[in-house]
Amino acid sequence: MENFEFQKYRDDLAQKITQEPDHTKRREILSLEKMTPEYQEAKKLRRLEFGSEKNKNDNDQLISYAEEHYGEYKIFTDELRDLINTIVANRNEFETVTKANIPEELLNQILDFCEGMPNEQIESLLNRANFNYENLLAGEVDEYTKAKLITEAVLKAKSYDLAVEENRGKEIDFIGFEKDQDIPDAKDFIYQTFSRGLLEKCLISKIDYNADKVNVALNGTDYVLPIEIYSDWQKIMPGVKNHKYRAESMVLWNTDPKFSKKFIPTPIRFFSFYGEEPNKLDYLKDVLDEKKMRQYKLGTIAHEVAHHIYEYLIDADKRNNWKEIVDRSGSITNYAQAYKNHNFKYDEFFTEAVRLKTTVPDYLERNFPEINQFITDNFPEIQAPIL
């Protein structure tokens, strides 16, 4: 029952009822109607509408409480500002230098390609960037716009190879992990799990862990609070825990074609795991109780790294294959399940699959053999390490 117009349905029903003069008959119409799927659907949609209004009110309450009490914990770091400045500078350079100096041969190839001449190299660059050139070329826009968009996409895709080249031999900085007794060896874990070569392609500048701070994101603003302050807040307003973020990666800043025009290494940040309950996770049930939190934290780091793999290294063809596999498999974790109807469903299924592959590989192999096979086939480097 897609796009069911529940308001119109209710109006029609109300009209039908009021047109009936006999009260008993009115009641009859309604009770018959109540048994129809349309009535049930309308009722459900009405409930959802009230639900989202309630959520909005809860959010407004959280936002004004945060503004009033936690203003001093609002953060906009120098690091974030530098990152934005770099992206803006790269955009300017792209417009004034990169596009102006495009080699003539490449430009001719692109123009031929736009006119229908197949070109394997251009196709593979655009596929890797998940740029849907087929739709663009078949679409209504004028030839100039087509050529412009394809040129920009090709230049940006090429910048990925340059960024990886520049990143070769560089190690990812791990900061703050020594403070957490569960995972002081997080760096060894990540390097053994993903391999040096694969990590270089992930373009991660550093992995920063704020073990004793909780990050609450409200309406685009980050509040980074000491655990005690956060826990007081949660006592008064339990809903705040739905806005608590354990991790943050900037990977989409790189891939968004409207925002960034050039690939650069970006950081990943982690915050306190306060309030997390790994003992409730089904996939950790065979892990010793005292090891559950460690496996959960390591898995969360692997999950964030995997976002970079999904964005940069799974091209359009592989992505189609992955989507088919996901659509016929069940939800691999409750976390992934929460994204079931979300734009990022396939991203989150992949990153959760990598979490399982690197921390509970037997569980993944036993329960989701096809998903396990996809990772093994495409990224044989990814292995649970023996620590």
State the residues that interact with Zn ion by CB under 5 A: 351
We find the least distance from the C-beta atom of residue 303 to Zn ion, in angstroms, to be 6
Q: How far apart are CA 41 and CA 20, in angstroms?
A: 24
To Zn ion, the closest distance from the beta carbon of 286 in angstroms equals 24
Question: Toward Zn ion, which CB reaches closer, 180 or 311?
Answer: 311
Closer CB to Zn ion, 272 or 351, in the complex: 351
If the CB atoms of residues 213 and 303 are measured against Zn ion, the closer one turns out to be 303
Q: Kindly state the smallest distance separating residue 270's Cβ from Zn ion, in Å.
A: 12
| CA dist 212 → 9, 42, 232, 246 (Å) | 53, 47, 15, 11
Instruction: Output the 3-class SS for 285-309.
Output: CCCCHHHHHHHHHHHHHHHHHHHHH
Closest approach of Cβ 359 to Zn ion, in Å? 15
Of 133 and 310, which has the nearer Cβ to Zn ion?
A: 310
Distance CA 171, CA 131 (A): 30
Q: How far is CA 104 from CA 90, 111, 171, 342, 369, in A?
A: 22, 11, 36, 42, 48
Minimum gap (Å) between residue 32 Cβ and Zn ion: 47
How far apart CA 101 and CA 96 sit, in angstroms, is 9
What tokens appear for 250 in the block?
């900037």
Beta bridge partners of 23: none
- Closest C-alpha to 208, from 33, 25, 78, 72: 78
By beta-carbon proximity to Zn ion, the closer residue of 295 and 351 is 351
SS3 226: strand
Name the residue nearer to Zn ion (CB basis): 146 or 299.
299
We find the least distance from the C-beta atom of residue 175 to Zn ion, in angstroms, to be: 21
SS3 state of residue 210: strand
